[in-house]
Amino acid sequence: MADNVTYVMMYVRDGDGREQSHLLGELREVYRTPVSIGRDPDCDVVLDHPGVPPRAAEFSAGSNHRFVRWANAEMRERIDGHPVRIGAFEIRLAEIIEPGRLALPPAGLPVRFGPRGLGAVLATDIPEDPRTVEARRIADALRAAGGHVRRLDAASAAWCEERLAAHFAALSRVTAPLPPLLPTRIEYTGSLDDAAARWTREWALAEARPFHYVTWSHVHRLGRWWSDLEHVRAQDVHYAGWYAYPTGELLLARLRYTTGAILTAHLATLDDDVSPARPLAGLLARGVYPFALPDSAMLLYLASAEEPVRHSSRPMERDFVDALADDDRAHLVYGDYLEQRGELARAAAIRARSGPTLGGRINDAFGDARALFLPGARVPPAPRDLVPDATVPDARLEIEGHAYPLDSRTGLAWADGRLALVPEPGTAEVLLTQAGGALWLSLGRDHASAALNHRHLFDRTRQPLFDGDVITLRDRSAIVRL
């Protein structure tokens, strides 16, 4: 991965509107000591103009803010990137990651640099970051729609399915030693409304039926990988977001937030040997938007399709896909078909079409995996109360190397500087409940300082837990063992 470097660029504008830019240097070096500016040749930035005081001001940094202190002033003023007036000039200091793209040609203004050596490196001398090159490549592909998938012929379908197979294989590798993942079915549509409706319908069915780990395994594994990436390589993710933002503006507005996360993850792992985001970014570059469906299935929306597209990788299901899209009553026939194939749980869920849910909606339960989710506008049904049971065999919580068996309902709290299981769930910060064939997590107190897989929980949304999930209270962690 290229170095994560932030630079300080100084913009100088005179009264005639002429502007000149100067790269002062890397952020850490520039603000190592206050940056002095004035007419005195010993200043770090020298403005050779009679209207500029010898030592006009000093720029400095502290606590994520930027300040200016005027000559003979005792206190600093916070400016945070806003321009200031010094004599006949307007001065603005900005922090950027790609100085070469923002450098302006010299305008002949009387600016030079003092003995400290700021401004010694030209913006055009800094090599282009690989993330810039990749983001520009994807942006060019998004603009030039001629390379998008316009017809779902055999070659296009094979290419899409190859990308998805690569995504599942990469996700399996980066989340090993968990079992390998494989896509179960791949469906296609040329209508965004149809994609959103089918996504909502299938996850609603998954939420209504009893919890099955296989139904949620793909989105959970993606969420685990993304959370670990943000936790362990936070700086890479932060800088990747900067590089991805201009390209993300070219994505479909309705999907920009979710698919922008794919681009960010792709750029953050650009130099990795294996990245689950790389194949998905390849789909986006050709106008193909992925939606995760239950049971490791995928729905691909072809944004540039020239004709209606309704297709499934399972030939026997294609007629039912068409029927479901046109007539919602076809779910009865489809349920019979699934039952004949032995998919009893899916058949029952298709026939039911509605019902109570154990957990929150998919956006809430696995928000970490938002890269494949369309933000839902629907209001989720109110979760029914969990009736504790012991259907999860041998559920344990590993705390500081010791494994503690869990009851049907167990509380976890912070006590005397460590995590502890508490006998009274009402006093817990986190509740763990065995019910409906799964172990569920919910917050036991308002404003509990809890995180799941390094991602903070800000509400009481109920979430199913998987083996190896990490629950953190303050700065101590416990590991789920199922």
Nearest CA among 85, 107, 79 for reference residue 21: 107
| β-bridge partners, 452 | 455, 471
- Rounded to two decimals, what is the model's pTM? 0.80
Contact present, 67 and 29 (Cβ < 8 Å): no
How many CA atoms within 13 Å lie on the side-chain side of 254?
11
- Of the chain, the percentage scoring pLDDT greater than 70 comes to 82
Q: Poorest-confidence range of 197-201, 236-240, 250-254, 441-445? A: 197-201
Cα 125 to its chain centre, rounded Å, is 32
**pLDDT given for residue 1 in this prediction:** 56
Query: Is the confidence at residue 356, as pLDDT, over 50?
Result: no
Nearest CA among 437, 359, 441 for reference residue 393: 437
Contact present, 331 and 350 (Cβ < 8 Å): yes
For residues 271-282, give the mean pLDDT: 96
Q: Poorest-confidence range of 79-88, 133-142, 320-329, 415-424? A: 320-329
Between 383 and 186, the higher pLDDT residue: 186
For residues 290-316, give the mean pLDDT: 83
Nearest CA among 140, 144, 157, 138 for reference residue 300: 157
Query: Is the confidence at residue 235, as pLDDT, over 60?
Result: yes
Q: What is the pLDDT of residues 26-59, one digit of tens each?
A: 999 999 999 999 999 999 999 999 999 999 999 9
Nearest CA among 380, 308, 13, 373 for reference residue 151: 308
Q: Can you list the positions of beta strands (E) in 416-461?
A: 418-422, 430-435, 438-443, 450-452, 455-456
Q: Please, which pLDDT band fits residue 416 given cuts at 50, 70 and 90?
A: confident
Give the total residue count for the chain: 482
**pLDDT given for residue 329 in this prediction:** 55
Q: Which pair of tokens denotes residue 425? A: 């769930």
Q: Is 143 exposed, middle or buried (0-12, 13-18, 19+ CB in 10 A)?
A: exposed
Q: Please, which pLDDT band fits residue 367 given cuts at 50, 70 and 90?
A: low
**pLDDT given for residue 371 in this prediction:** 58
Q: Name the phi and psi angles at 249, rounded to 5.
A: -65, -15
Q: Which pair of tokens denotes residue 250? A: 């070219």
Domains belonging to the chain, first-starting first, are: 7-125 (2.60.200.20), 134-313+354-372 (no CATH), 396-481 (2.60.200.20)
**pLDDT given for residue 125 in this prediction:** 81
Pairing of β 35-38 and β 45-47: parallel
Q: What is the DSSP letter of 400?
A: T
Query: Is the confidence at residue 308, as pLDDT, over 80?
Result: no
Nearest CA among 85, 96, 111 for reference residue 22: 111
Q: What is the pLDDT of residues 438-478, one digit of tens each?
A: 899 888 877 778 889 988 887 767 788 999 999 998 888 99
What is the rounded average pLDDT for all residues in the chain?
84
**pLDDT given for residue 72 in this prediction:** 86
* Alpha-carbon gap, residue 453 to 223, rounded angstroms: 9
Query: Is the confidence at residue 346, as pLDDT, over 70?
Result: no
Nearest CA among 290, 297, 288, 318 for reference residue 202: 297
Contact present, 81 and 92 (Cβ < 8 Å): yes
For residues 391-409, give the mean pLDDT: 89
**pLDDT given for residue 157 in this prediction:** 92
